[in-house]
Structure 1
Amino acid sequence: MAHREFVSLVHKSTQRDYLQRVNEVDKASVAEVAIRYDKDYWDGDRLHGYGGYRYDGRWRKVADAMIAAYGLKPGMRVLDVGSGKGFLLHDLAEALPGLEVAGLEYSRYAIDHTLETVKPFIRQGAAARLPWPDGHFDLVISITTLHNLYNFDLWDALREMQRVSKSAKFLCVEAYRNEREKMNLMYWQLTCRIFHTPAEWEADFRLTGYTGDYEFIYFE
């Protein structure tokens, strides 16, 4: 298990107005819309989610870094738990022809709007119950998804990632290190169910037997 930085390159490039999220609208009502994970969340205005989640190639740098870090080769299998619209899977497959990619996504809207290059490889489902056999994938990843689960589903999801991986695993979740980052996270988030410090996340890893790599992103 090791701390890695893949997603931080993308996360830090986005500018955020934390107070706008709580001053402009009723944050609770906006969050109630966001947790439907439909058009408003993915392609509505910025207050309800991504503000238009469109492919722009920014995930290619993450894909290249993962391929190098985990020594991926053609014929290997990669699973993305919480694949969204398939941007990272598309970039992985494009960067390494012959790589077998698969995704699991909860949102029907996201699957319907997944890039055509990888849409056939996406299944709808829950992270706590992965529909693949033990040790099926050479690498299992999950990017900014697991903090949207309640503890009981999170623990099952971590165990499932461990189960379907031959060896390599990586996840990225939101965390906070101080009161300012905690408040910024609470102001900004719309779908988060778990607000943890790094130490609390690491306790979850030990509790569930998760042995993969991890990254924490912060709202500084």
Structure 2
Amino acid sequence: MKGKEWYQADDVAEEYDSKRFSRGGRLIDDREKKAVLDALAPVEGEDVLEIACGTGRFTAMLAERGANIVGLDISEAMLAQGREKARSAGVADRIEFLRGDAARLPFPDDHFDAVFAMRFFHLAETPAKFMAEMARVSKDVVFFDTFNDRSTRVVYNWLLPMGSHLYSASQVNRLLDGAGLRLVDDQHDFLLPYGFYRKIPNGVAQEFRDLDTSLGEATIGPWSVGDALASVSYWTATVDDE
């Protein structure tokens, strides 16, 4: 089972966080949350839209920091997990969860201060359309991540139940240009693929993460190893009013 059918299954939603963010996967969770906060903070009082909010990891985190946030996802099972997470964190009053299609966002133009999507574009069937919609409803910031086509992810990609679309930097730049967005920051991380970290215990995960980070920060002549071979990139853009 692949794609939308896999993603919307009840058992996938129930086990999503525990399978991906336990063991060494907790380091992935930490890094992704840092990337979101780096791009969007400060969020207190800001109106934020999260596309493909899944189980609400980021939705609840931003609500705890004072954001007024809408979480949109195609999976009702994932949204149920998000609502429970929001209730447990005591921030349900700051979040509205909606089931919807990212290709046809049910909001007017310039409705949010920031729009972001994590773990989304590798599954996007029509990425240009999704990007255009994100840009349309944002007044300012658009933030997202991609899996990259010059990384170990190329090999790991064959093992995923859904398969992933891998992007080059030039492809991302074309998406941004087509949506009227201007890139303001990009960060590249994880030479080792996510699947590796999920398989190793906490006790050794940090040692591998430290090595991964050191290698990613290394340079060969004018080239950054991380920029060239990282499996994940985080992209921060802004609506180009020019």
Q: Partner residue of 2:168?
A: 197
**Are residues 1:75 and 2:45 paired?**
yes
Contact 2:49–2:71 (Cα < 8 Å) also in 1:
yes
Deviation at 1:197, TM superposition (A): 2.5
Contact 1:82–1:143 (Cα < 8 Å) also in 2:
yes
What is the CA–CA distance in structure 1 between the aligned matches of 2:173 and 2:138, rounded to whole Å?
A: 19
**Are residues 1:183 and 2:186 paired?**
no
What is the CA–CA distance in structure 1 between the aligned matches of 2:189 and 2:35, rounded to whole Å?
A: 17
Contact 1:149–1:192 (Cα < 8 Å) also in 2:
no
- In the superposition, the TM-score normalised over structure 2's length comes to 0.62
Q: Partner residue of 2:102?
A: 127
The count of aligned residue pairs is 181
What is the CA–CA distance in structure 2 between the aligned matches of 1:93 and 1:216, rounded to whole Å?
A: 26
What is the CA–CA distance in structure 2 between the aligned matches of 1:60 and 1:93, rounded to whole Å?
A: 17
**Are residues 1:84 and 2:59 paired?**
no
Q: Partner residue of 1:138?
A: 113
Which residue of the other structure, out of 77, 90, 96, is the alignment partner of 1:109? 77
Aligned pairs (5 A) from 1:29-178? 30-31=1-2, 35-44=6-15, 52=19, 62-63=32-33, 66-67=36-37, 69-94=39-64, 96-97=65-66, 99-114=67-82, 115=85, 116=87, 117-118=91-92, 121-150=96-125, 153-178=126-151
Q: Structure 2: which 5+ runs fail to align?
A: 194-230, 232-242
Which whole-Å deviations, capped at 9, do the CAs of 1:31-88 have from their partners, x for residues lacking one? 37963521232335xxxx6664689997577556644554424321111100001111
Normalized per residue, the structure richer in strand is 2
What is the CA–CA distance in structure 2 between the aligned matches of 1:190 and 1:126, rounded to whole Å?
A: 22
Deviation at 1:173, TM superposition (A): 1.8
- In the superposition, the TM-score normalised over structure 1's length comes to 0.67
Query: Aligned-pair RMSD on alpha carbons?
Result: 3.3
**Are residues 1:206 and 2:177 paired?**
yes
What is the CA–CA distance in structure 1 between the aligned matches of 2:154 and 2:21, rounded to whole Å?
A: 28
